[in-house]
Every structure is written in C-alpha cells, then in structure tokens.
Amino acid sequence: MPRYYMFHKPKGCVTAKKDSLCKTVMDYFPEDMRDTLHPSGRLDKDTEGFLLITDDGALTYSLMHPDKHVSKTYFFYAIGVLTEEKIKAVSEGITMRGSNTPVRPARIKCLSEGVITEITDFLPENKREHLLKYPAQKIFSGEITIEEGKNHQVKRMLRAIDCCIVYLKRINIGGVPLDESLAPGEYRELTEEELSELRK
C-alpha cells in the first residue's frame, strides 16, 4: 500500500533524499523508510512548511505538473509595500527577472503591515544583524497562492514587484492545510479525507 505523510519541513534542511553537505528532509524519517519514500516537490533550504512525503510517483507527478493547476499557498513576511497596483500585476501574471515569459496568474493578499523590528524572530539568522540596521524598514505579512512550481518562484515574483521575502512558509497544498499541531521536523500520515482532496 502506498504511504502518504504530511511533513512540516523546518528551515535549514534541503529537499533531497541524500546530500553530502546538508541535512535532508528524509533524515527526519526512520532509516528503513528513506529508500522507498521521496519528497513530492521541493521547498528551498530556508523555507519551511507543508511537504508531502510519499512513495506514490503518480500522485507526485499529478501534484507537480503545472497543467493540473494544483494550488499551493504560502504565508510570508516581506520588506516593502503591497499596493493595489502590485496585487493587480500578480493577479494578471507577472514576468520574473531572468525570464521572458510571465508566470501564471496568482492570488496575493496583505494580512498586516509594520516595521522590521516587529518580526525579529522570523528573520534569517545569517541576515538578521544586517536587516535590523534599518529598523524603520516597512514590512508586511501576506499570503500568495500559485499553481506552478518554478525555481524560487514566490521569492522571484515578490522581487518583480519590488518586495523582498524574509520568511516563507507553505501552508496549503491542493486545498489541504498544514496541520499546525505538527512542530517543524514532525510528520504524520495523511487522513483519507486529505488524500481524497489531493487526488482531486
């Protein structure tokens, strides 16, 4: 029987089965499970959140193929300001730097606004001291939903509207939310209802 796990990926590990330099997401699973299971899709090393771990290659293909339009929602903190004009640009499909074609339309919304000193705990450790040299920098929290999975896509989309993500967490895949009772590094089996939702 195929196996399906909701894994809360922590920051600092890479999405790979093996890596000679870094801890991988599979290192959080028992050794006897690592050969058969694989991560479905990927999250950057400094991104946390919902990662599906499975041995079902067909489901992985369906979830990752852009023509299937599987939504993936992220919570983020970013330096900058999210204007109505920028929201409209994202909703129509923006062209990321280094690309000649626009990405698919996405949904983005602002949840709160503030200054960078209010999110100290969420800043990357290797950039915290530098970022806090500018305590009046405007930041906002938001959510963005995409249906693709290009390399560093969310970060690049925000850069294209002159915002810089400093914290990123995937909170939903295909209508299935991350179980917030899972601490980073923990996992559990998907319920039948969650699996049914993903298979849609």
- pLDDT tens across the length of the chain (200 residues): 899 999 999 999 999 988 888 899 999 999 999 889 999 988 999 999 999 999 999 999 888 877 778 999 999 999 999 999 999 999 999 999 888 899 999 999 999 999 999 999 999 988 999 999 999 999 999 999 999 888 899 999 999 999 999 999 999 999 999 999 999 999 999 999 999 999 88
Q: Amino acid identity of 182?
A: L
Q: What is the CATH number of domain 4-66+177-199?
A: 3.30.70.580
- Does the active-site annotation cover 44? yes
Tokens 């690309």 correspond to what residue? Answer: 99
Q: What is the CATH number of domain 71-172?
A: 3.30.70.1560
Q: How far is CA 92 from CA 58, 102, 104, 108, 173, in A?
A: 31, 9, 8, 11, 21
Domain regions of the chain by residue span: 4-66+177-199, 71-172
Report the distance separating Cα 48 and Cα 41, nearest Å: 13
pTM: 0.95
Spot the catalytic one: 19, 27, 32, 44. Answer: 44
Instruction: Identify the pLDDT of residue 150.
Output: 84
Instruction: Identify the pLDDT of residue 148.
Output: 87
Instruction: Identify the pLDDT of residue 141.
Output: 98
Treating both helix axes as pointing N-terminal to C-terminal, what angle do 192-199 and 57-64 enclose, rounded to 10 degrees?
60
Report the distance separating Cα 48 and Cα 6, nearest Å: 13
82 neighbors 110 (Cβ within 8 angstroms): yes
**Domains 4-66+177-199 and 71-172 in one fold:** yes
Q: Where are the beta strands (DSSP E) in the chain?
A: 4-9, 38-40, 48-54, 72-79, 107-115, 138-146, 164-173, 176-177, 187-189
